[in-house]
Chain A
């Protein structure tokens, strides 16, 4: 019925779609973390991409450095996630909280986190070397339906990142700390009046976002690689997804992440991988010019 070439092309397109979906799901994870931290604390974190790599490196140290073998990736996650939380919390308390009292503090935070990004990037290069590191796949093997082949790894990445977002959404709406976070985002002064410890919520939100991005780092690094220099690109991607989806809207971020993941996979397939970031940038400019509030955002 179809010629050989058409069928091959169809398989290739399926591959591209799968790559787009698994990338999109991790972008969603990162964008949700970013939307949360910017929406609540108004602090923009330029070192966001380096926390992505930090998650990957922590997992790498555990698996290859220390030969950690407990329950596969579950054990790794149980150890790395609290570690990321602690790092995020401490950074907020030590570096961003003192700036909050100064005038023009949002710009100061951007400069500080940019310095932090450079510090972490060069630290990774010095400690782990420029060569990229790889993690073992979370679940080996493939699922074959007829002629189509799906790697279990891709399916796991997809399921786990959507699970992570679901968990965060549940936490925000059903736990005390989640509701406190929402209260601070909606009205900081009102939140303070009813006795919500604002400083602690800021630090926790920042820590949660580092956990989200670190989780994304572990998930995506076993499919691609951990590249010490990639922090800036990852941060830009997460931020474009956030801006495209609309600031402060978790659902918008979700849609945007899948659209952008798909677009990146397609552009990479048609034109070559290095054009991904150029396409991303054009999309960003178009979004900001025609719809500054993003897909689902309320007001610029």
Chain B
């Protein structure tokens, strides 16, 4: 997809988001959903960069998100670090963890990478709940309950004043999305794609797989960690429940709805799925069943997601068939 199209789609999606509070700004419940849309959009896009562009089959994105949230929360609660600084440190920490996880993955083939990253995900929960986590200040099986909200220039962004908080989230989310877009369209992004499409040929042209794959890990986990930390400060509560498979699969549905490897798609997918899953709330316990079934159906029926439908129509227009 061309740079211009990408920018237009991102601009349109965030533009629609930006005017929505004019109509629903008073309804706290809806504002909350809109903020969630913006937050998950970043996580889904990061995951999409990892899987769709770099072709690294990583299942660790939720783990990085939780790491970021916990790191920033612990810093703010135990060491009284200002939230803004704590978020930045959490991002750097998660980026470092991303590199650490990425290192053993460099030599491995598809399912092994999936296994290692999914293993990080599975091992994080007992770590946070157990004595190691408690020693670090993770609050054991209760989680972190009193994360202070973000305050800048004497102004506090919390759920008490939703509209300003929404616009702050919008800015953070948009900044992340633009970063991703610039990276994809830069030399880096081309290198990722080349490595994914033909690993050996890309290597022979002098593209270092080592360097670029580590970069993908560092970048995506950095952004995911930042937004995770932001999530923690917005909600004030973080628990290891985030690591349950529900969230994991909902993120996957977002990517699949948007189309894997069609970048702005993941953002649109996230907006649609978060809103859609609120409509599915009456299903109660059956919501997770439906989500699981939805993943299966989407993989089978809609291989390129919504962006795929869009591009098919475009192709028809061009070739006149």
Contacts and interface: CB of A to CB of B under 8 A. Distances in A.
Interface of A: 38, 44, 95, 98-99, 102, 106-108, 110-112, 114-123, 125-126, 232-233, 236, 239-240, 243, 272, 274-275, 277-278, 280-281, 284-285, 288-289, 292, 300
Contacts of B248: 118
A111 to B, nearest CB: 5
B299 A108 contact: yes
B222 interface: no
Contact of A125 (B107, B127, B285): B285
A233 to B, nearest CB: 7
B11 interface: no
Contacts of B126: 274-275, 277-278
A131 B212 CA distance: 46
A55 B57 CA distance: 29
Contact of A236 (B110, B115, B285, B299): B115
B116 A99 contact: no
Contacts of A284: 115-116, 119
Contacts of A44: 110-111, 114
Nearest to A288: B104
B300 A98 contact: yes
Contact of B285 (A114, A118, A122): A122
Contacts of A280: 119
Nearest to B110: A106
Given A115-B249, A118-B291, A110 B111 contact: yes
Nearest to A38: B111
B15 interface: no
Q: Is the interface of A mostly helix, strand, loop or mixed?
A: helix
B17 interface: no
Given A44-B111, A281-B122, 12 more contacts: A99-B299, A99-B300, A110-B111, A112-B299, A114-B249, A122-B286, A122-B292, A126-B285, A240-B119, A243-B115, A278-B127, A288-B104
Contact of B122 (A121, A123, A233, A285): A233
Nearest to A124: B289
Interface of B: 51, 57, 59, 104, 107-112, 114-116, 118-120, 122-123, 126-127, 129-130, 245-246, 248-249, 252, 256, 285-286, 288-289, 291-296, 298-300, 303
A232 B118 CA distance: 9
B245 A118 contact: yes
A152 to B, nearest CB: 33
A289 B286 CA distance: 41
B249 A118 contact: yes
A119 B293 contact: yes
Contact of A107 (B57, B108, B289, B300): B57
Q: Give the residue among A110, A122, A278, A292 with the most B Cβ atoms within 10 A.
A: A122
16 contacts: A38-B111, A98-B300, A102-B303, A112-B300, A115-B252, A115-B294, A116-B296, A118-B288, A118-B291, A121-B245, A236-B119, A277-B123, A281-B122, A288-B116, A289-B104, A300-B107
A300 B110 CA distance: 11
Task: Give 6 closest A-B pairs by Cβ, nearest first.
Answer: A115-B295, A119-B292, A122-B288, A118-B292, A112-B299, A44-B111
Nearest to A94: B300
B216 to A, nearest CB: 16
A106 B111 contact: yes
A115 B292 contact: yes
Contacts of A292: 107-108, 112
B128 to A, nearest CB: 11
A111 B116 contact: no
Contacts of A118: 245-246, 248-249, 288, 291-292, 295
B130 A275 contact: yes
Contacts of A119: 289, 292-293, 295-296
A125 to B, nearest CB: 7
Nearest to A119: B292
A240 B115 CA distance: 8
Among A108, A111, A275, A289, chain B packs the most CB atoms within 10 A around the CB of A111
